[in-house]
Amino acid sequence: GNSVTQMEGPVTLSEEAFLTINCTYTATGYPSLFWYVQYPGEGLQLLLKATKADDKGSNKGFEATYRKETTSFHLEKGSVQVSDSAVYFCALSRYGNKLVFGAGTILRVKS
C-alpha cells in the first residue's frame, strides 16, 4: 500500500540554521506529494506541493523536490525563524484521492 515515512523529531535548531526534514514514500504509479504545516492550536495548511517527478515546490522560503529515483520529497529551508516552529507533515495522494500522511515532525526554533 501507499505510505510515507518522515524523520522523527523533535528537531531543534537555532534561528538562521539550515533545515532539512527527510521524507520518503512508497506508492504505485506517480503520486502527488505535499508538505503541510500545523502551527500550535491551528489546522493544517498546505505549505507546498509537487505533482510530478523533478518538480520543485516552494513557498515561504521552504523547498522540496520530487525525486522519483529515490522516492523522496525532503523539505529544506536555508534560514529558519522562530515563527517556523510547528509540526510538519509529508503526505501523498494518488489521483486526487485520499491523503496519506507521515507521522509528522516537530520543529522547534530557538532564538
> Which residues here bind other proteins, judged by CB under 8 A?
32, 36, 42-46, 49, 89, 93, 95-104
d(CA 2, CA 50) in angstroms, rounded, equals: 17
Cell numbers for 69, please give them. Answer: 529515483
d(CA 94, CA 32) in angstroms, rounded, equals: 6
Shortest Å distance, C-beta 89 to other proteins: 7
Cell numbers for 59, please give them. Answer: 513557498
CA 67 to chain centre: 13
Which of 17, 55 has the CB closer to other proteins? 55
Which of 15, 103 has the CB closer to other proteins? 103
Which of 2, 17 has the CB closer to other proteins? 2
Shortest Å distance, C-beta 78 to other proteins: 26
